[in-house]
Amino acid sequence: MIYKSIRFSVIFVLLLACQPKERQQESVGGMAVPISQALEEPAVLPGHPESSEGASRIEEYFTRKNKYGFNGTVLYAENGQVTFSKAYGFSNLRSKDSLTMESAFQLASVSKPITALAVLKLYENKQLNLEDTVQQYLPEFPYPGISIRMLLNHRSGLSNYMYFSDEFWPDRDIPISNPDILDLMVKYEPKPYYPPDRRYNYCNTNYAMLALIVEKVSGMSFEAFVKVNIFLPLDMSNSLIYNKSNYPKNFNHVVGYSSGRRVAENTYLNGVVGDKGVYASAIDLFKLDQALYDESLISHATLEEAYTLQHKDLRTWDNYGLGWRINARDPDNKVVYHTGWWKGFHTYFLRELGSRKTLIILSNTDRGSSMGVKELLSLI
């Protein structure tokens, strides 16, 4: 009954958030303020120091990208100070509603670091251990020998639900959920790609299962747990998790576009969360970035674990930790980052830990939004 009450409360709050523009604040699309004013609120950002060389390079780079179709928001910070931020283009290409720095985008796989943080919160609270098996929390899970750590670092060997769902899910007009994914695995036992811990294999199924474990351990929906333990404490006021299983229609004001101006499909797979599904603004991700330096969310010791290379079979400069991709070529300036793509949305969240530089790029169109991480790092 407690679980249902919490779930109902969260759904009610999210419904209230999806109100017309006349309200003072929109839950997902951001404050209805002009772009030029979007970063002038001192309670949101720590200020705008004189532009740095990195900021100048980034501005020049995205001025060019914008000419070739880039549509989205960009934020660059050094030592906790935002030195460049700008919104380019529209949240809706048809209505020509302008993007602002508070506009929330589908983060795609940039959702994975947030899912990992949810799991690590439970780990810090001694509610689970990273070496525990999945079957300790999901007894029906049909694959023995897979630990929570193996889900976090992509060494489970599991097959990708996005492929076996296409084969086994009977009606794509009905959203598939995380429990449904587990049910399909129990019923059909899709063959794993590799035995547990054999090798790295990036797989969305891992993070769908992690979201289920968060629910099992916390007694809350995944959406509610992330909201209560991450979004609210950090005042990530434009962030939420969209789950098509709960809301057939996506009320987010930023529309994703693929193949030019075609609205991207709200696929049945959007009922699965953990691997994707988080919506957040560039400002919200900057708040998260800063919180990971001051231990307001999680301890340095736990983060050090998350930032540790987990794969001896991968290169030092192209590795994976617990929810983060890692470039440790320079051990004194390790880069932890994630990128994402999903149904018209392209996202980049890059963090140089030694120099404390942060680059956040959120785009809602395919055109002009494909960028290499190496290229982006060269700008900062």
Among candidate residues 238, 143, 237, the one with its CA nearest the CA of residue 197: 143
Contact between 119 and 148 under an 8 Å Cβ cutoff? The reply is yes
- Given this model, what pLDDT does residue 37 score? 31
The answer to which of 1-10, 129-138, 232-241, 355-364 has the lowest mean pLDDT is 1-10
| Confidence at residue 46, expressed as pLDDT on a 0 to 100 scale | 45
Please confirm, yes or no, whether 109 is among the known catalytic residues: yes
Which residues make Cβ contacts (< 8 Å) with residue 303, sequence separation at least 6?
Answer: 292
**359 bridge partner residues:** 76, 350
Residue type, 309: L
pLDDT value at residue 186:
98
Query: What's domain 2-379's superfamily in CATH?
Result: DD-peptidase/beta-lactamase superfamily (3.40.710.10)
The C-alpha atoms of residue 137 and residue 146 are separated, in whole angstroms, by 12
Summarize the confidence of residues 25-39 as an average pLDDT.
29
- State the Cα–Cα distance between residues 241 and 213, nearest whole angstrom: 17
Residue 125, exposed/middle/buried by CB under 10 A (0-12, 13-18, 19+)?
A: exposed
**pLDDT, tens digit (0-9, with 9 covering 90-100), for 127-176:** 999 999 999 999 999 999 999 999 999 999 999 999 999 999 999 999 99
Residue 286 half-sphere exposure toward CB, CA atoms < 13 A: 30
For residue 38, count other CB atoms closer than 10 A to its CB.
25
Give the distance, in angstroms, between the CA of residue 317 and the centroid of all CA atoms in the same chain: 22
Question: Rounded to whole angstroms, how far apart are CA atoms 145 and 201?
Answer: 16
Give the pLDDT confidence of 72-107 residue by residue, as tens digits.
999 999 999 999 999 999 999 999 999 999 999 999
Q: How many angstroms separate the CA atoms of 305 and 325, rounded?
A: 13
| Model confidence at 32: pLDDT above 90 | no
Average pLDDT, the chain: 88
Mean pLDDT of 306-324: 95
> Phi and psi at residue 174, in whole multiples of 5°?
-105, 125
φ/ψ (deg, to 5) at 116:
-60, -40
The closest of 64, 75, 61, 60 to 105, measured between CA atoms, is: 75
Q: How far apart are CA 23 and CA 33, in angstroms?
A: 12
Q: What is the pLDDT of residue 61?
A: 96
- Residue 318 is given by DSSP the state S
Catalytic residue among 27, 109, 221, 369: 109
* pLDDT at 259 (0 to 100): 86
